[in-house]
Amino acid sequence: MKKVILALVFIFNLNSVYAGGGGAEHLIERHWAFDGKFGQVDKQSAQRGFQVYKEVCAACHSLKRVYFRNLEDIGFSAEEVKALAAEYTIIDGPDEAGDMYERPAKPSDQIPGPYANENAARASNGGAFPPDLSLMVKARPNGANYLYSLLNGYRTPPKHVKLSAGMAYNIYFPGKQIAMPVPLAEGQVEYMDGTPATMEQMSVDLVNFLQWTAEPEMEHRNKMGIRSLMFLVIFTILFVIAKRRVWKNVK
């Protein structure tokens, strides 16, 4: 019965019902450091991904669910986080005179986004709203592979496609026309650890980073999972043995 249910869950996830819009191209499927029961956050890669976010994506996309202090989980030291936060300005207040004031951000603050509100974001982006990226990997089916594919999915549109004003052609985006211009180019970022910033490297680092922002608990969850399952398997076996012993004399 349980096998039937597992099979059904598997089958239900095979269809493309969750793909928004029709004619979704088959995503590029990569192996990721965070895949599977023993998946881990590649911390070096995530740090580089944060740099890509900061220097490229943060121009339009917020990451508001991440607090500066969270960055210690991917390997930044407390001092680095403090210095990083201080580069940003937060509007705080009201003070005793009733005025709002500016101050440098602290590790306990959320990472501020580029725009004051949604209207400002839309006004700067031709009416389109660049979504917050904190949960993006969980908010799309096969999110990690989707994001990787999307970043590498820009093409010149085929002859028969008429691009609407301000749109770009991306073969993985539902409907194939996306309001985001191609965000990454070779060598766009100069990595602090000296890694060459190829398209491949930047997209992988970015996805590793965003996977962490979406599921910061993943490593702990996987570890607890292994231990819980081992415990449960052992104890189920023990109960099977106990059951047989108890039932042995039932005639």
Interface with other proteins by CB under 8 A: which residues?
A: 1-2, 5-6, 8-9, 11-13, 15, 17-18, 20-21, 37, 65, 70, 131, 134-135, 138-141, 143, 174, 214, 216-217, 221-222, 224-226, 228-229, 232-233, 235-236, 239-240, 242-243, 246-247, 249-251
Residue 164: how many CA atoms within 13 Å on its side-chain side? 10
Between 48 and 140, name the residue whose CB sits nearer to other proteins.
140
Between 50 and 201, name the residue whose CB sits nearer to other proteins.
50
The answer for residues whose C-beta is within 8 angstroms of residue 104's C-beta and 6 or more apart is 85, 86, 87, 88, 89, 90
CB of 87 to other proteins, least distance (A): 23
Q: Residue 226 phi/psi, 5° resolution? A: -60, -50
* 8, 71, 165, 173 from 148: Cα distances, Å: 28, 22, 25, 12
CB of 234 to other proteins, least distance (A): 10
CB of 1 to other proteins, least distance (A): 6
Q: Is 224 exposed, middle or buried (0-12, 13-18, 19+ CB in 10 A)?
A: exposed
Between 44 and 110, name the residue whose CB sits nearer to other proteins.
110
Helix (H) or strand (E) holding 249: none
Between 40 and 195, name the residue whose CB sits nearer to other proteins.
40
